[in-house]
Amino acid sequence: MDWSLRRLKILHRTYYNLRGAVQLEPNRLLLRPREGPGLHIKFSKLDISPAAQIRGIRDAYDNSVAIARLASPTTQLAIDKHGQDMPEIRNWKWGNKPTNT
C-alpha cells in the first residue's frame, strides 16, 4: 500500500449529561495526534458546546493540549474534534529510519 496517498479522517465525540447545572473547572483536552516525520495534520477543528474559551499549549512530551474554560454552568458538555491526517512517509518500515524517497 502506498501510504503517501492515504488520508485518514478522524472524528472524536464526547458527550456528558449531568443531573443538574454545574460550573465545570478548566478541562484539559488531548484530542490531536502528535505530528512527526510520518504524520502531518492537514485540518483540525474543535467544537465545544456550550461555548468555551480555548487556549492551546504543548506539554512536556510535545503533545498539543487544548485547555477549555466554560463561562457558565451547564447540564451538558459536548466535544467534537474533526481532523484529517496525512501520512507523508514513503518506504517506511517498523524499526527503520523514515525516508521520503
Q: For the chain, what is the domain count?
A: 1
DSSP-assigned beta bridge partners for residue 36 = 39
pLDDT in tens, 80-95: 998 876 655 444 455 5
What would the DSSP string read from start to end of the chain?
--GGG--EEEEEEEEEEEEEEE-PPPEEE--SPPPBTTBEEEEEEEEEES-EEEEEEE-TT--EEEEEEESS-EEEEEEEEEEEEE---BS--TTSPPB--
Q: In what order do the strands lie in the sheet with 40-49?
A: 8-22, 74-86, 40-49
pLDDT at 1: 52
* Structural domain that includes position 35: 3-86
Residue 67 lies in a domain: yes
Q: Which amino acid is at 45?
A: K
Residue 100 lies in a domain: no
Residue 101 lies in a domain: no
| Predicted structure pTM score | 0.69
CATH number where 63 lies: 2.60.40
pLDDT in tens, 16-62: 999 999 999 999 998 887 777 777 788 888 899 999 999 999 999 88
